[in-house]
Structure formats: structure tokens, C-alpha cells
Chain A
């Protein structure tokens, strides 16, 4: 099973709202990622969790707050977003240290900030 699931599929939120994106994998992977993808562009890395610890933060604004409750789950908490944050948010996972680098992606959450 190479499935990564993400909920919700679509999300519309106002600039003052607080919402969360969720990601889950059951492949035993120990690294999980959040990406942001704008239309007609490649995914941009936001955060990497390795063995449930935040290992990379690509200078993402603090209105995005990641959380890794356990090795299978990854959340992205959203607060006070801006309209330019509207994008497809992708979660991915990989084996982690010693792995072969291949990442498996979820279907994404289409976020619209109004």
C-alpha cells in the first residue's frame, strides 16, 4: 500500500479563521513533508519531519504551524492566512534516513483564502 491520505479535499477559509489540514500514511515511513503548490508551478517544500521531529522549516511564515502527533500523522494548522496563501497543499512521506529518497504524495487539499 503506497497511499497517503489528506483531509479535507477542499477548504475555504476567511483571513481570521483557524483551520487544520490532516495527512496520514500507513507505510511505516519515518519522514513526512508539507508542500505548497501554486498553479502551473512545481511543489515548494515547507516542512520536513524526520522521526517525528521537525528537521526542516523552509522559512515558512508562522501563520503555518506543523505538528506530527505520531509517525503516521501530520497536521498543518492554519491561522490568519492571506489570500496569497491560496494553493494546493500536498503531504508526502518517505522511508526516512537510509531510504532511497522516493516520496509518496497525497491527493492534496485545495485551500482558498477569502
Chain B
């Protein structure tokens, strides 16, 4: 079984400041890792994914995340945020072998302050 922890339920950040959204996971098997973004009244959009290889992955809209196996973390970062980044961000994992169920964290609400 897998579990995902997003400790920060809300993160307020000033416009053009950097941001880091934290994600830690627990799993007895190897997993793929994902970040999804959900804008108000919309579905989820895949922001980036870690499948294998380089631990630093780049996604859409200037976001990047670093996989740290020893700390079982997959934190999301952006060097300079914009008003349009206001959204809910979900970290998720799925087992590499076996079913394709996504296990989501509880989400982090990113609010950009003008």
C-alpha cells in the first residue's frame, strides 16, 4: 500500500517570489511520482512526473520537482510565481508493477498575493 503526505494545506506566496510545495510518500514497492494541478472549476492537469533516471524533473509552466529516494520526498518548486499559478496542487504515486491506482495526497492550496 502507498500513502502520500502533503503537510501544507495552504501556502500563500507573494507574486514573483519562489515557492516550494512539499510531498512525502510511503510505499513498500517502487512507485512512479506525479504532481497534478487543479485550477478552479477544472479537472486535474498533469504538471510533471518522475518515472526513472535524473532525479530533477521539469514540467509545464516553469515548475520542477526533485525526487529524493532516501527521504522519500518529491517536492515541487518554482523560482518565480505568477497570479495564474493560484490553484490546488496534488502529489500522487502509483506502483510501477501491479494496478494503476493513483494514491493522492490531500492537496496544497497555493495562493499568490499580488
Contacts and interface: CB of A to CB of B under 8 A. Distances in A.
Interface of A: 4, 6, 31, 40-43, 45, 48, 50, 55-56, 90, 92, 94, 96, 99-108, 110
Given A40-B107, A42-B107, A100-B51, A48 B101 contact: yes
Nearest to A110: B41
Contact of B100 (A41, A42, A48): A48
A47 B45 CA distance: 20
Nearest to A6: B43
Interface residues of B, number: 25
Interface of B: 32, 34, 36, 41-46, 49, 51, 88, 90, 94-96, 99-102, 104-107, 109
B100 A94 contact: yes
User: Which residue, A48, A105, A110, has most C-beta atoms of chain B within 10 A?
Assistant: A105
Contact of B105 (A42, A45, A92, A104): A42
A101 B100 contact: yes
Contacts, number: 58
Nearest to B90: A42
Given A42-B104, A48-B100, A102 B49 contact: yes
B107 A99 contact: no
A105 B32 CA distance: 17
Contacts of B100: 31, 48, 50, 94, 96, 99, 101, 103
Contacts of A101: 32, 34, 94-96, 100, 102
B6 to A, nearest CB: 9
